[in-house]
Structure 1
Amino acid sequence: MEFSTYQRAARQTSQLRLGGPQGAIAPMLGLASETGSILNVYKKYLLDGIDLAANREFLREELGDLLWYVAAVATAFGLDLEEIATANLQRTRDRYPTEHPPRQRDELPVFDTGYPPHERFPRRLVVAFAEHTLPSGRAAATLTLVSAEPNIFLNSRNATASGKKIGFQVGAELGDPLTDNSRRVDAYRFHDAIHLGFLAVLNWSPTLRSLLRLKRKSNPETDECEDGARAIFAEEGLAVVLSRLAKRRTGFLSETSIEGEVIEVAKATAVDLEVEPLPAWLWRSAICQGFRAMHQLAENSGGYLIADLDARTLTYEKVFS
């Protein structure tokens, strides 16, 4: 039986008021009541050791009633149960794919494909993080680009005809030294690991594209809308918000600690950006890898991060050779 067919049949048996939000009150109370009945059986299983197998018929009946009330709530709000089920499966598969993610990685976009070589990210970068103490006594971290492959700028001048610098230079620092920018010592000085997580796994980071001077100037619209200040602010803001949320979720050191609501925050930040269509499972991987690397940098007062954009991995090494 299809869900839509069940919903229509259930409506014909309803003795409840139909239509409008007010009509949803009784079935929503029914949802709570039936859920309570199922929980009561499980409570008896935990406390009294009852046989769940012996209660299968009761559970089947209660779950059936639960489904009836779900259909009634959907009807009250003018929603189709078939569409709800289809959308829910799509959303769930987006978060937790049934296929092994590496198979899906081959189909993921590389956002700067087709652009001139001097506007494309290297496919592998090694970045050194060094911690030092400022005269103020605060800890700061500096980033140095150790290697980049391919390096289109190895034997060329890093300047346009107008004299404006473009591209990166191996051995040069990326940006200014960073402190925690807070009264608390919380390792945010290493937060560029979050951006490197985005770069490695999502192949996206307006912040690092700016630091590496790889903006896609050949396409004015892309330069403005994808590589401009608004996109950079969106990514930086997301890094701040995620850092706050991570404190209440074991630091996002495992993918299981990154709840669906966290992914929704990330995807909301990415609305209207090229990264918006990427699946939730990939965001989860990017966030986890970035925060795990940030944690390792803080534990060891620095180290090296290797961003592999083809493998979509970010790895930490205390010593790089």
Structure 2
Amino acid sequence: MTLNDFQKIASSTLQSYNSKDQENFFLGFLGLAGEAGSVLTTLKKLIRDGEGFDSYRDKLTDELGDVLWYISAIASHHNINLEEIAARNLNKVKDRFDIIDLKSIPRFDEKYIEKFPDTFIVEFIESINENGILEVKMMWKTGDENFVQLGDPLTDNSNVPNDYRFHDIFHLGHIAFLGWSPVMRHLMKLKRKRHPKILDAQDRGRPQVAEEAITLIVYNYATKNKMLKASDRIDTELLNTIKQLVVNLEVSSVSSYQWEQTIIQSYKVFHKVVENKGGRICVSPKERKLKFLEKKDKE
């Protein structure tokens, strides 16, 4: 039996009610809540009686069937197909939890001359400026072995020091793990100027604002979660917010799982740089790698 078959048969068993509720079908929602409670009651009996609850499987099957009936009834009342519900749910779950190798993400600039280097070194240098405020400079080691400063020195922009002056690490993480960063593309002078439509839609103001918003939103989330030092998961609601911020951008094809891994791995490097008050980082969009270089490591 398919879900559509079940829905068709279930619809033929719908009851009529002696109230005006038939128009809004409130009782269908209340019935679903009640049957969900019955599922929990079945679990309670299992916990209480253990192996003595010999009919647990049969009882659970019955209660889940009642839940499915009410779901079908609500869906039918609103002209929603059960198989459509199932397919959309699987797509959502797959986006969130399907384990995908970060290397499977296409490099969005692969076919362009102005693409990020396959592997490059960036150094973060912390100092105190003339106003007595901690600031960080980001230096890019170019192909001629010289270091070029990227952008202006950053401070925390906060009344309370919070290490946000190192947040460019997250933009580098976007390059390393996603092959994307309109902010760094601007700083490294790698905008795709030979392609005006791509330049306008992917490399200018709105994409840059979106990326900065992502780094700030995630950072604020991290401050309430031990700076993600003990985390290997990111709240799904936050990941959904990120995906909303990148709608219509080339990075919109990146799954929630891939965003989660990008954030977790980038924060690992962030903590090493903060602990060392700066340092060099290897960024490799080719190898999908972001690595803090210890002094003993060779470049």
Structures share fold, TM-score greater than 0.5: yes
Contact 1:252 1:287 in 2 (8 A): no
Question: 1-side partners of 2:134 and 2:188: how far apart?
Answer: 24
Which of 179, 182, 190 matches 2:155? 179
Contact 1:95 1:279 in 2 (8 A): yes
CA deviation after TM superposition for structure 1 residue 255, in Å: 6.5
Contact 1:249 1:258 in 2 (8 A): no
Question: 2-side partners of 1:126 and 1:20: how far apart?
Answer: 66
Contact 2:4 2:83 in 1 (8 A): yes
Contact 1:210 1:227 in 2 (8 A): yes
Which of 229, 245, 254 matches 2:205? 229
Sort the Cα spacing of 1:255 and 1:70 in 2 relative to 1 into closer, same or farther, 3 A: farther
Check if 1:139 corresponds to 2:134. yes
CA deviation after TM superposition for structure 1 residue 20, in Å: 9.7
Question: 1:105 matched to which residue of 2?
Answer: 103
Question: 2:33 matched to which residue of 1?
Answer: 32
Contact 1:21 1:76 in 2 (8 A): no
Question: 1:267 matched to which residue of 2?
Answer: 243
Tell me which amino acid in the other structure corresponds to 2:2: E
Percent identical residues: 33
Matched ranges for 1:25-174 at <5 A = 25-46=26-47, 48=48, 50-51=50-51, 54-97=55-98, 101-102=100-101, 105-106=103-104, 108-116=105-113, 119-146=114-141, 151=143, 154=144, 170-174=146-150
Give the number of equivalent residue pairs. Answer: 295
Contact 1:195 1:205 in 2 (8 A): yes
Question: 1:243 matched to which residue of 2?
Answer: 219
SS at match of 1:68: helix
Question: 2-side partners of 1:111 and 1:121: how far apart?
Answer: 10
Question: 2-side partners of 1:49 and 1:175: how far apart?
Answer: 66
Question: 2-side partners of 1:20 and 1:193: how far apart?
Answer: 56
Contact 2:16 2:22 in 1 (8 A): no
Question: 1-side partners of 2:215 and 2:236: how far apart?
Answer: 17
Contact 2:232 2:264 in 1 (8 A): no
Check if 1:207 corresponds to 2:183. yes
Tell me which amino acid in the other structure corresponds to 2:110: T
CA RMSD, Structure 1 to Structure 2 (Å): 2.5
Contact 1:20 1:77 in 2 (8 A): no
CA deviation after TM superposition for structure 1 residue 299, in Å: 2.6
Contact 1:7 1:75 in 2 (8 A): yes
CA deviation after TM superposition for structure 1 residue 248, in Å: 3.0
SS at match of 2:110: coil
- Structure 2 portions without partners, runs of 5+: none
Question: 1:162 matched to which residue of 2?
Answer: none
Question: 2-side partners of 1:260 and 1:251: how far apart?
Answer: 17
CA deviation after TM superposition for structure 1 residue 318, in Å: 3.9
CA deviation after TM superposition for structure 1 residue 204, in Å: 0.4
Cα displacement string for residues 179-201 of structure 1 (whole angstroms, at most 9, x for unaligned residues): 11111222111111111111111
Contact 1:115 1:216 in 2 (8 A): yes
Tell me which amino acid in the other structure corresponds to 1:291: Y
Question: 1:163 matched to which residue of 2?
Answer: none
CA deviation after TM superposition for structure 1 residue 60, in Å: 0.9
Question: 2-side partners of 1:82 and 1:201: how far apart?
Answer: 35
Contact 1:16 1:26 in 2 (8 A): no
CA deviation after TM superposition for structure 1 residue 254, in Å: 6.3
Cα displacement string for residues 258-289 of structure 1 (whole angstroms, at most 9, x for unaligned residues): 12211111111111111112222211111222
CA deviation after TM superposition for structure 1 residue 11, in Å: 1.0
CA deviation after TM superposition for structure 1 residue 241, in Å: 1.4
Sort the Cα spacing of 1:194 and 1:54 in 2 relative to 1 into closer, same or farther, 3 A: same
Tell me which amino acid in the other structure corresponds to 2:94: R
